[in-house]
Amino acid sequence: MIDTRKVTGRRKLKFTTPAEVIVEVERLWALERMGKVQRLGNWSLGTTLNHMAEFIDYAYIGFPPDLNPPPVIKVVLKFCFVQNIAQPLWICDE
């Protein structure tokens, strides 16, 4: 198990359009199929993308009743949603 608190070399990403996100995901998925993705943590690319997609969805449709995230996560996602109501959530960088 990798201690992700000590991981270095993470990439900083900023997307301005949904198309940019799709291009990056497709690029990473192609690299994953070739065995060229280097994990910096414990999750596979698929697990990471699923986690991100679920949390983006939660900001729009609400959290499932059986999921109880920390209050700070709820506040941050709601803030991002309200601030970017006319824009995609992934450009929330306040």
Length of the chain in terms of residues written = 94
- How many domains are there within the chain? 1
Judge contact between 41 and 4, C-beta under 8 A.
yes
How far apart, in whole angstroms, are the C-alpha atoms of residue 75 and residue 36?
A: 37
Q: According to the model, what pLDDT value does residue 88 have? A: 46
The residue among 17 and 87 whose pLDDT is bigger is 17
Tell whether 10 is covered by a domain.
no
Q: According to the model, what pLDDT value does residue 82 have? A: 57
The residue among 11 and 76 whose pLDDT is bigger is 11
Tell whether 73 is covered by a domain.
yes
* CB neighbour burial string for 50-69, b if at least 16 within 10 angstroms, e if fewer: eeeeeebebbeeebeeeeee
Tell whether 84 is covered by a domain.
yes
Q: What is the pLDDT of residues 33-90, one digit of tens each?
A: 999 988 888 999 999 999 888 877 877 787 787 877 788 877 877 776 655 544 444 4
Whether the predicted pLDDT of 15 surpasses 90: no
Tell me the HSE value of 41 on the side-chain side, using a 13 A CA sphere: 10
